[in-house]
């Protein structure tokens, strides 16, 4: 018999776990875990949130299928190293509202690949193809191009799984980035909105935050209506010239990998300097939440056309409304791209796409702004209610 047996037993009694307390803690942790998993859940969705990892290629990706009430979801594949699940969900929800508001026979989805979009093309292709194979059986989602991906990327997806939108022209697609579908839609929205905020597009001063595909085409289409680009920003900085910027020259610089600040005829500012420039129309066309409660008061504009998805926080939109800055929400203003993709999906052509974009965005912008003007309600609230009411038709809906 060991003389220490009694002390050990006593010590064991002292450290004996409280089973009831442990179960309570486990239940609390489980509840918190479930709350985190379902934190986005509401009456619309999301139907699925999928995290993807492929150790062979290093692929890390997120897919959110938000709502498929109107049909299989379509939405872009974003590539960026810092995308979060929350961001992808919010983007997918924007697609749900966008597709419903535009009366498209599709639900909303979104995907993101966590990687640098500027990586070598061969490496990028490996990741895109790995992503495509990973979602092959998620048939309620059809991918399209988004920030960091393009028509060529969608061609890789199509060759792997047989479905994608925004395809290269040579394989039967309507290359929505090449033709500027989203930018065209923004210009139509600008025509409508100008009547509600005392702007004449002839000579209107335009500022674009994010001079990628959407921003470039928006500048082109708005310039064709007489507007003047006075400032543009990308990740490297802002170029400002109150006399106007040569849009084609700026686009040419971007096409060879240079920045807007390599444009020589203007004042160079930091990236956030684009917020402070007085203008008539301010177009965010880059990442989410660029305007928020801490910087919204710096905006000096009459009209905001949301070329990017979720570029303003809810607080920022509310403050703009109080300041009488008209903000056209993303899923109304920038629906041109997904309308084009849906026309392609349904077998239409480029002419059908431009006709559908003009018709749908003109009608929706007018309806939202008429209602917002009469009621004093924020345009986004009006647009959300519109989207929730809409049902979808399927046969030759673009005509």
Catalytic positions, please? 110
Phi, psi of 291, deg, nearest 5: -115, 125
With tokens 């647009």, the residue in question is 383
H or E segment and range at residue 355? helix 350-375
CA 114, distance to chain mean position in Å, is 15
CB 201 within 8 A of CB 191: yes
Paired tokens of 259: 């920045």
Residue among 265, 212, 272, 279 nearest 238 (CA): 272
Q: What is the secondary structure of 18-78 as a DSSP string?
A: -HHHHHHHHHHHHHHHHHHHTTT--SS--SEEEEEEETTTTEEEEEEEEE-TTSSEEEEEE
With tokens 């309806």, the residue in question is 367
Q: Where are the alpha helices (DSSP H) in 67-115?
A: 85-101
Residue among 301, 265, 272 nearest 286 (CA): 272
* C-beta atoms surrounding 350 within 10 Å: 18
Q: Which residues pair with 113 in a beta bridge?
A: 61, 79
CB 380 within 8 A of CB 329: yes
Strand bridging mode 59-67 / 48-54: antiparallel
Paired tokens of 4: 């220490």
CB 95 within 8 A of CB 75: yes
**How many Cα atoms occupy the beta-carbon half-sphere of 376 within 13 Å?**
2
CB 344 within 8 A of CB 173: yes
H or E segment and range at residue 240? strand 237-240
């Amino acid at each position: 018999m060991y003389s220490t047996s009694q002390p050990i037993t006593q010590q064991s009694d002292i450290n004996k776990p409280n089973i009831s307390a442990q179960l309570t803690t486990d239940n609390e942790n489980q509840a918190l875990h479930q709350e985190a998993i379902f934190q986005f859940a509401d009456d619309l969705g999301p139907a699925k949130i999928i995290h993807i990892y492929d150790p062979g290629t290093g692929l890390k990706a997120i897919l959110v299928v938000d709502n498929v009430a109107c049909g299989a979801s379509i939405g872009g594949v974003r590539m960026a190293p810092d995308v979060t699940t929350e961001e992808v969900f919010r983007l997918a929800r924007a697609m749900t509202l966008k597709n419903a508001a535009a009366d498209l026979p599709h639900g909303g989805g979104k995907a993101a690949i966590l990687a640098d979009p500027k990586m070598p093309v061969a490496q990028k292709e490996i990741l895109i193809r790995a992503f495509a194979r990973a979602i092959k059986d998620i048939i309620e989602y059809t991918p399209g191009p988004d920030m960091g991906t393009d028509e060529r990327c969608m061609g890789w997806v199509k060759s792997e799984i047989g479905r994608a939108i925004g395809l290269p022209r040579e394989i039967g697609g309507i290359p929505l980035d090449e033709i500027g579908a989203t930018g065209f839609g923004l210009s139509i929205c600008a025509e409508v909105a100008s009547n509600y905020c005392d702007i004449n597009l002839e000579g209107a001063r335009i500022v674009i935050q994010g001079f990628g595909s959407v921003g470039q085409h928006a500048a082109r289409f708005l310039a064709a209506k007489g507007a003047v680009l006075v400032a543009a920003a990308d990740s490297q900085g802002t170029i400002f010239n109150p006399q106007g910027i040569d849009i084609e020259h700026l686009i040419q610089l971007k096409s060879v990998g240079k920045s807007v600040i390599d444009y020589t005829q203007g004042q160079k500012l930091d990236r956030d300097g684009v917020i402070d420039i007085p203008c008539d129309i301010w177009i965010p066309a880059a990442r989410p939440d660029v305007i928020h409660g801490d910087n919204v008061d710096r905006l000096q504009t009459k009209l905001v056309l949301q070329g990017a998805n979720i570029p303003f926080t809810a607080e920022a939109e509310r403050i703009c409304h109080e300041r009488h800055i008209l903000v056209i929400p993303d899923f109304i203003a920038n629906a041109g791209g997904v309308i084009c993709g849906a026309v392609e999906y349904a077998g239409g052509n480029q002419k059908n796409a431009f006709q559908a974009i003009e018709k749908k965005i003109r009608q929706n912008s007018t309806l939202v702004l008429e209602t917002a003007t009469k009621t004093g309600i924020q345009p986004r609230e009006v647009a959300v209610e519109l989207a929730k009411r809409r049902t979808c038709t399927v046969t030759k809906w673009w005509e």
